[in-house]
């Protein structure tokens, strides 16, 4: 039998559960990653100071929650082996351009990505590296597919 007291107990549990789920949802957006290992890359005379996202968790968080990023900075996603890499921008607050990069540093293709979008942006072929910079960084420097980026992480 369902009494008024039982109803109040069930309602209280539902409210508690809803509050807990709401707290989990609000905490789901991770804090910005600001202290990852860094390396220098160059594209001709242009030097980039990039964070290395090397673990699955670091790659999953990426540049989420960043409100801004200096023009000379970016993030290099490093994968264990070449594969078709696809990126989206959920919880990413700044517009970015992704360069999908081969082992030797050659850019395969570029993709401009809008903030807070679930649109998928993929490499044109299997790659191990994806370099994210502020939107337009590559275009302003006339860097396109086929251009070679230099850095210790790339094979010669």
Whole-number pLDDT of residue 155: 81
Average pLDDT over residues 48-61: 97
- Which has more confidence, 36 or 6? 36
pTM, two decimal places: 0.81
- Residue 20 has what pLDDT? 44
Per-residue model confidence (pLDDT) at position 67: 94
In which band, very low, low, confident or very high, does the pLDDT at 30 lie, cut at 50, 70 and 90?
A: confident
How far is the C-alpha of 108 from the C-alpha of 100, rounded, in Å? 6
Per-residue pLDDT at 21: 44
Cross-sheet strand order for the sheet of 73-83: 38-43, 46-53, 73-83, 127-134, 96-101, 107-113
Model confidence band, residue 66 (pLDDT cutoffs 50, 70, 90): very high
> Mean pLDDT over residues 15-33, rounded?
56
Give the pLDDT of residue 28: 64
Domain ranges across the chain: 1-29, 38-140
Count of other CB atoms within 10 angstroms of residue 73: 17
d(Cα 147, Cα 156) in Å, to the nearest integer? 14
Superfamily of domain 38-140: Protein of unknown function DUF192 (2.60.120.1140)
Nearest by Cα to 62 from 39, 37, 32, 85: 32
pLDDT tens per residue across span 84-94:
999 999 999 99
Q: Angle at CA 154, nearest 5°, toward 152 and 156?
A: 95
- pLDDT recorded at residue 18: 46
Mean pLDDT value of segment 71-89: 97
């Amino acid at each position: 039998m369902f009494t008024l007291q039982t109803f109040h107990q069930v309602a209280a549990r539902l409210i508690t559960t809803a509050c807990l789920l709401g707290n989990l949802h609000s905490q789901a957006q991770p804090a910005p990653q600001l202290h990852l290992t860094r390396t220098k890359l160059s594209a001709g005379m242009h030097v980039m100071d990039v964070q290395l996202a090397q673990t699955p968790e670091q790659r999953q968080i990426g540049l989420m929650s960043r409100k801004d990023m200096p023009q000379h900075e970016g993030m290099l996603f490093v994968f264990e082996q070449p594969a078709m890499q696809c990126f989206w921008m959920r919880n990413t607050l700044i517009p970015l351009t992704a360069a999908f990069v081969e082992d030797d540093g050659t850019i395969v293709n570029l993709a401009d990505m809008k903030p807070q979008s679930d649109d998928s942006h993929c490499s044109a072929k299997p790659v191990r590296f994806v370099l994210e910079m502020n939107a337009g960084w590559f275009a302003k420097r006339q860097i396109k597919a086929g251009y070679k980026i230099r850095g210790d992480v790339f094979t010669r």
